[in-house]
Structure 1
């Protein structure tokens, strides 16, 4: 007769210590695996190089100050200005009596007339005498004899006016010539040199179409000419 082989279930049921032993072995293996995993994790954490901390760039003082609110900013005291070394002259303070005196002196009187700015020119010592030297058809030759009755040399100016006509020529007899002009019927002659004291010189002129040989006006400076 062949002997029948026992089944696995029957063997386990007949030997329960085998199951216990297998369970203990499995637990030991799991414990070893767990311990190894924990050791590897701790070693990696301890041996890993620390990550560098991120550092923020330093801001300049001006930027930090400007970003801070005005209320928190520390006020900067103003720098003192340099003192001026210039010395101004002191203005004297007039006394009441002095000021009143100066004011009374400087204030012009309302009743007195203002003084003239330019003194009037002194009268010329040169005088003149008018006469007709020669007359002809259509014109004549006249003369103003100039005499210096003063005590100093003096220049002179003759002004002649006629109602109509024109001046043809003019000259001074025996002396240096001056300058002549004729405009709007007025003949003006200015001496070239001063006339010496007590000396005389004739100014002659040729006038045409005057109608009359008598001038409407004859002046030496501001003095009326005498007439012959």
Structure 2
């Protein structure tokens, strides 16, 4: 019996006959290439580190330091103060305006003092009508008194008689032998005003009936502001 010799397969024929071996080798090669590519990209990254909060990071405003001018009387120094954009570093103090002088029309605009105040008006001359007080009669609880008027002037004049009695009551008042005037009693003061002017050189008595005055002597008696005689 003859022996049959079996042929030994070669390495190339084994690889060719097993396709999965080829696929495994290809996958390994691709993985190696991918790892090499990732390493090269990571080594070339040069991006700067981002700040902690980009939204809050703002550029700082530039500051400038101004030096004081060397000229006497210049604006004040602003050394050490920050210069804000849009604002001028010049002084905002305005110079005081001189007060204009008031000219009164004199030569070269000369200012003249105000004229002095006019002197007060002289007092009015005393009335030409004078009076003398007297008691005509007295009785229990009252009396009748009179003020005799005399016009010492050269023309006719009206007149006003006033007598002061702090207590009492005025019953009536009248002009003896002449046209009547008006009278009243208020606050202890008897007032009688003439109805017609008293002629120059004429004389007339004005009489008063008073009660419960406690005295026949008035505290005051005047004719046109002048004190009566006879008190």
Q: TM-score if structure 1 supplies the norm length?
A: 0.51
* Structure 1 residue 160: Cα displacement: 0.1
Q: Is the CA contact (8 Å cut-off) linking 2:141 and 2:211 kept in structure 1?
A: yes
User: What 5-or-longer segments of structure 1 have no aligned partner?
Assistant: 1-92
Whole-angstrom distance in 1 between the partners of 2:167 and 2:135: 17
1:97 alignment counterpart: 107
How many residue pairs get aligned? The number is: 129
For the pair 1:127 / 2:137, whether they are aligned, the reply is no
Ranked by relative contact order (alpha carbons within 8 Å, sequence separation 6 or more), the top structure is 1
Q: Tell me, what secondary structure is at the counterpart of 1:226?
A: coil
Whole-angstrom distance in 2 between the partners of 1:164 and 1:139: 12
For the pair 1:170 / 2:177, whether they are aligned, the reply is no
* Structure 1 residue 95: Cα displacement: 5.9
1:140 alignment counterpart: 143
For the pair 1:182 / 2:176, whether they are aligned, the reply is no
1:115 alignment counterpart: 119
User: What 5-or-longer segments of structure 2 have no aligned partner?
Assistant: 1-102
Q: TM-score if structure 2 supplies the norm length?
A: 0.51
> CA-atom RMSD, angstroms?
2.4
Give CA deviations for 1:148-193 in whole Å, capped at 9, x if unaligned.
0111111111000013101000000111111101101100111111
Q: Is the CA contact (8 Å cut-off) linking 2:166 and 2:189 kept in structure 1?
A: no
1:16 alignment counterpart: none
Which structure has the greater CA radius of gyration? 1
* Structure 1 residue 99: Cα displacement: 6.3
Q: Which has the higher helix share?
A: 1
